[in-house]
């Protein structure tokens, strides 16, 4: 097993052009005395929409590490993979996020459930357990989650086979589902993962509230933090009780930019002396747009062209993300109107500064999911990003550093 560091940041890079600028952000953290591992996560869905393959992400990471001389920890994350998609990622990744959300609620064999509940009956009376469990709750959680855990174990073993060893980090995600897992259910899930021999180091449960793409958390912040704190205690307790890796931590699939949560999460992990994995992706792509718009001229024209295409292809670009965005179309400016804006106006509408009256979260969400239109622009986008590299890189670095790393990891 490859052991993940206490703090890690999933930076995802839709088009593989910003890895060096992202490394610059974790370098700043190191200069400030905080080590943050960088993880380039990309899912099968993102690859399809962006017109890339796992080899591209692997190569982009290797090149950026070499270019920047980064000697800190780094990973390439096969994000949200399962049995049907793992193979294409395996050669290029050392971090695997096994997504078994689709298997939740599909019951395992009755004998397996009976064996599990019998084996773990003592959890009901366990001392110091951070969430209460009685026999009925153990049984109910096993019925709901045991099959998903079996699928996780199957996928984990397949990765070991493909990698010819276990030189990787295992994350288990159950976030893309409708109903949040309770802390008590998380205990059952972790017990089952331990039984199945999965050395889980990061677990991404579904949390309460809405994690819309590229914009802030929508929900009760205090309630979220209470839930998060309970989950942190569960993970710590389970690592000890079930002999899971000591590096086990929570992973938060944020959809980027959950600014109202970061300081609270940071306070909890420091107080509990534990780590966290924060997964972002689209926030960097949005900074590519900001950097292009800030550059003016043909850069600004390209940002406007992307907006127009995303606006015109609204139904198509929104479809894969309909569960994780809330766009009020009436609040989207028309592409004709945006064409009349100058660079600073477009930058202000997209850049995530909530105190700025011009910031438009609807437009930002549309840009976030609109990256698919770049696939049909081909080389032109890559050339523009290269030409305006200075502005794009600066925005990518500042965004990760000031708006994500500082509030979360430094406080």
**What is the spatial distance between Cα 388 and Cα 367, in angstroms, rounded to a whole number?**
19
CB of residue 263 vs Zn ion: minimum separation in angstroms? 22
Q: Which is nearer to Zn ion, 27 or 253 (CB)?
A: 253
CB of residue 253 vs Zn ion: minimum separation in angstroms? 3
Q: How many CB atoms lie within 10 A of CB 107?
A: 13
* CA separation, residue 66 to residues 159, 308, 343, 389 (Å): 26, 37, 34, 18
C-alpha of 5 from chain center: 16
The DSSP 8-state label assigned to residue 200 in this structure reads: E
CB of residue 176 vs Zn ion: minimum separation in angstroms? 6
Binding region for Zn ion (CB under 5 A) out of 10-18, 170-178, 192-200, 218-226: 170-178
**Sequence-distant (≥ 6) Cβ neighbours of residue 311 within 8 angstroms:** 332, 334, 335, 366
**Helix (H), strand (E) at residue 301:** helix 297-312
Number of residues this chain uses to bind Zn ion (CB under 5 A): 2
Q: Which is nearer to Zn ion, 20 or 265 (CB)?
A: 265
Binding region for Zn ion (CB under 5 A) out of 59-67, 235-243, 252-260, 353-361: 252-260
Q: Which is nearer to Zn ion, 40 or 311 (CB)?
A: 40
Residue 173 Rama label (left phi>0; alpha psi -120 to 50; beta): beta
Contact call for residue 77 and Zn ion (CB under 5 A): no
Report which of 337, 361, 335 is spatially closest to residue 350, judged by C-alpha positions: 361
Binding region for Zn ion (CB under 5 A) out of 127-135, 191-199, 247-255, 378-386: 247-255
Coil, strand or helix at 46: helix
CB of residue 101 vs Zn ion: minimum separation in angstroms? 9
Q: Which of 150, 175, 257, 288 binds Zn ion (CB under 5 A)?
A: 175
Contact call for residue 253 and Zn ion (CB under 5 A): yes
Q: Which is nearer to Zn ion, 42 or 120 (CB)?
A: 42
Q: Which is nearer to Zn ion, 262 or 381 (CB)?
A: 262
Q: Which is nearer to Zn ion, 253 or 352 (CB)?
A: 253
CB of residue 92 vs Zn ion: minimum separation in angstroms? 19
Contact call for residue 294 and Zn ion (CB under 5 A): no
**What is the spatial distance between Cα 178 and Cα 173, in angstroms, rounded to a whole number?**
13
The DSSP 8-state label assigned to residue 251 in this structure reads: E
**What is the spatial distance between Cα 199 and Cα 250, in angstroms, rounded to a whole number?**
14
Q: Which is nearer to Zn ion, 28 or 253 (CB)?
A: 253
Which residues of this chain interact with Zn ion, rule CB under 5 A? 175, 253
């Amino acid at each position: 097993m490859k052991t993940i560091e206490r703090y890690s940041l999933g930076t995802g890079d839709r088009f593989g052009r910003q890895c060096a600028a992202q490394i610059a952000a974790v370098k700043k953290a190191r200069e400030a005395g905080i080590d943050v591992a960088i993880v380039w996560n990309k899912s099968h869905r993102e690859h399809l929409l962006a017109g890339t393959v796992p080899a591209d992400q692997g190569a982009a990471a290797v090149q950026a590490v070499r270019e920047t001389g980064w000697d800190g920890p780094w990973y390439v994350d096969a994000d949200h993979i399962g049995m049907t998609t793992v193979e294409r990622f395996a050669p290029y990744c050392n971090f695997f996020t096994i997504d078994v959300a689709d298997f939740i609620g599909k019951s395992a064999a009755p004998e397996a459930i009976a064996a599990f509940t019998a084996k773990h009956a003592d959890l009901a009376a366990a001392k110091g357990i951070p969430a209460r469990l009685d026999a009925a709750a153990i049984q109910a959680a096993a019925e709901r989650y045991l099959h998903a855990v079996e699928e996780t174990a199957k996928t984990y073993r397949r990765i070991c086979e493909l990698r010819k060893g276990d030189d990787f980090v295992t994350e288990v995600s159950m976030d893309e589902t409708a109903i949040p897992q309770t802390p008590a259910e998380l205990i059952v899930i972790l017990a089952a993962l331990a039984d199945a021999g999965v050395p889980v180091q990061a677990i991404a449960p579904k949390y309460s509230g809405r994690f819309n793409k590229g914009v802030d958390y929508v929900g009760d912040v205090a309630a979220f933090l209470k839930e998060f704190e309970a989950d942190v205690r569960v993970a710590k307790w389970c690592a000890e009780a079930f002999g899971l890796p000591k590096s086990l931590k929570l992973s938060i699939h944020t959809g980027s930019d959950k600014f109202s949560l970061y300081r609270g999460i940071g306070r909890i992990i420091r107080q509990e002396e534990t780590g966290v994995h924060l997964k972002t992706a689209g926030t960097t792509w949005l900074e590519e747009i900001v950097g292009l718009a800030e550059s003016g001229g043909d850069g600004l024209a390209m940002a406007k062209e992307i907006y127009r295409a995303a606006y015109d292809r609204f139904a198509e670009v929104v479809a894969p993300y309909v569960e994780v965005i809330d766009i009020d179309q009436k609040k989207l400016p028309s592409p004709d109107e945006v064409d009349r804006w100058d660079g600073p106006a477009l930058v202000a509408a997209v850049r995530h500064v909530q105190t700025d009256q011009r910031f438009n979260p609807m437009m930002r969400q549309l840009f976030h999911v609109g990256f698919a239109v770049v696939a049909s622009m081909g080389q032109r986008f890559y050339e523009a990003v290269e030409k305006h590299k200075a502005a794009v890189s600066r925005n990518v670095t500042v965004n990760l550093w000031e708006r994500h790393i500082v509030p979360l990891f430094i406080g």
